[in-house]
Copies of this chain bind each other. A is one copy, B any other.
Amino acid sequence: MREVAMPSETELLVCVKCRRGQDIPADDRRPGQALYDALADRPLPEGLRLTAVECLQNCDAGCTVALRGGDRWTYVFGNVDEASHPDMLLDGAARYHATGDGLIPWRERPEHFKRNCVARIPPLTPNTPVEAD
């Protein structure tokens, strides 16, 4: 049982079971676990919690992560690479955390976030007008 995130925190969820469509030997580390490990090895931005999750069910376009927390929109991103994307993810997570609603201004949004958003889900307590981006 993991700890529960504080409401104001941002949570970066990482699917650690992701095979990214590869045929992974049973005793090998999966790409999703490698992504999680790479993130856990780095200093995390203030206010960010890293959470391992088993299967975010975006298996055809993994690795997959999600950002959520507070009154922000939840975002799910796919096609994440465990070798080249950890720093980008932490930068994007910090930018997300800096917003009140989860909508990173388009010009500041990592290119990968722009092109690989799988879905987003509104906050339970919407505090902002609905926007189309």
A residues touching B (Cβ–Cβ < 8 Å)? 1-2, 4-5, 13, 17, 53-58, 64, 66, 68, 74-76, 117-122, 124-126, 130-133
- Identify A130's interface contact among B54, B119, B120, CB under 8 A: B54
Q: Which secondary structure dominates chain A's binding surface?
A: loop
Question: Do residues B56 and A120 form an inter-chain contact, with CB atoms below 8 A?
Answer: yes
Inter-subunit contact B119/A66 (CB<8 Å): yes
Can you offer 24 A-B residue contacts whose CB atoms are under 8 A? A1-B126, A4-B124, A17-B132, A53-B122, A53-B130, A54-B130, A55-B130, A55-B132, A56-B119, A56-B120, A56-B121, A57-B75, A57-B117, A57-B119, A58-B118, A58-B119, A64-B119, A66-B121, A74-B74, A74-B121, A76-B76, A76-B119, A119-B119, A121-B121
